[in-house]
Amino acid sequence: MGFKRAYFLTLTIIFSIGLGFVLGYAVKTKLQPTQISWPVLRQAAKILEDHGYKSIPTSPALEYGMIRGMVQAYEDPYTIFVEPVQHELEGNALTGSFGGIGVRLGRDAQGYPILFPLPEGPAQTSGVKEGDRLLAIADQTITPETTNEEIQAGLRGPVNEWVSIVIARPPQYSEMKFKIKRAEIPLPSVTWHLDPNVPEIGLIEINLIAASTPTEVENAVKDLQSRGASAFILDLRDNSGGLLTAGVDTARLFLKDGIIIEQQYRGKEIETLRVEKPGQLTDIPLALLINANTASAAEIIAGALKAHQRAIVIGDKSYGKDTIQLVFDLQDNSSLHVTSAHWWIPGLQPAAAGTGIEPDIVIDSSSIQNGPDLYVTTAIHALLERQ
């Protein structure tokens, strides 16, 4: 995975502006004003203007309020109006980045945070290696009880500023200190590493379903295989979805034939999306992790692989979002996200009803504490039992 060449996405801004679970295609067509006269609305506005004690709000505040009321009356949770500034933030999120040292976090068997440096990133070029146990960031001591959020806050900061870290390198766990200059770190849609305790298992985390995701997944498998991986875990936890086509194409990588999904737009015939030719990854042993925040295009991947009995699905029941949104730009650079279609996976119930994908092995997430990742350890055991 090239650090400078990968496509990068961030979830944080998308969630903050209420755009989670977007599934579909961006439509860059400017919408024209409706020809409907809205006589009652006009009458009500006139009454406010003539008789209201307060001055009537100026445009665009009044117009935006009317749009929100219309969307609310539409009674669809995924049809939303986004103002221009928020719409611009959405666009910025697609190339989001932060100041950091270029590492991902994991936990070893004792629950200590361990580092996985991104290729070509500041941490890797400074000498940090995959599996190094993190002991300190500047004056902050790191223990198994330190949360990932606290660690990320310490590692991140302004670009070109320096941060000191102390690590313990296995197997002797000798301590080493590094001073690393922060760089602009993009967030990949796919990241991967060998499990530090069972190195024949490769873990592939998909953060968001982007156009580049299928290629990134292929690259991840090839890289992990070159380092000795023979079985794989596909982690879709907390993946809110993304592009439908990319979700379908990602599922196709693992399947030899059959139907991925069926979908239907209003007034249109049902369209069937199939495996067009055997995928590149049809023979690798595979487990798949989901939770209650796995949604939309991520559910397409999980559901298709479950329906074809291609992977062991482990975790909690997924979110259950089976609709497609189209994104329309409005005249002032605001946008309207409109639910336009419904999808389902033939032969898989109750996913077709939008109630989520049921895992083959259920994890009680309420009992999970700091320490080894129970989802991952369960997946490893399941894969090893089948080999």
Tens of pLDDT along 113-137?
999 998 889 999 999 999 999 999 9
Contact (Cβ atoms closer than 8 angstroms) between residue 254 and residue 310: yes
**At which residue do the structure tokens 């024209």 appear?**
32
Which helix H or strand E contains 289, and what residues bound it?
A: strand 286-290
**pTM across the whole model:** 0.69
Average pLDDT over residues 210-228: 94
Q: What is the DSSP letter of 352?
A: G
The answer to which of 3-12, 89-98, 134-143, 254-263 has the lowest mean pLDDT is 3-12
Pick the range with the lowest mean pLDDT from 126-130, 233-237, 363-367: 363-367
> Do 117 and 129 contact (CB within 8 A), yes or no?
yes
pLDDT for 347: 78
Sheet containing 231-235: give its strands across.
Answer: 190-194, 201-206, 231-235, 286-290, 312-315, 361-362
State residue 187's pLDDT score.
Answer: 65
350: preceding bond cis by omega (within 30 degrees): yes
Torsion angles phi and psi, residue 68, rounded to 5: -60, -40
Give 107's strand partners.
Answer: 113
Report the percent of the chain where pLDDT is more than 70: 84
Q: With cut-offs at 50, 70 and 90, classify the pLDDT of residue 84.
A: confident
pLDDT over 60 (residue 7): no
| Structural domains of the chain ordered from first start | 99-186 (2.30.42.10), 190-386 (3.90.226.10)
**Which 3-state string (H, E, C) describes 291-337?**
CCCCCCHHHHHHHHHHHCCCCEEEECCCCCCCEEEEEEECCCCCEEE
* Residue 120 Ramachandran class (φ > 0 left, ψ -120 to 50 alpha, else beta): left
365, pLDDT greater than 90: no
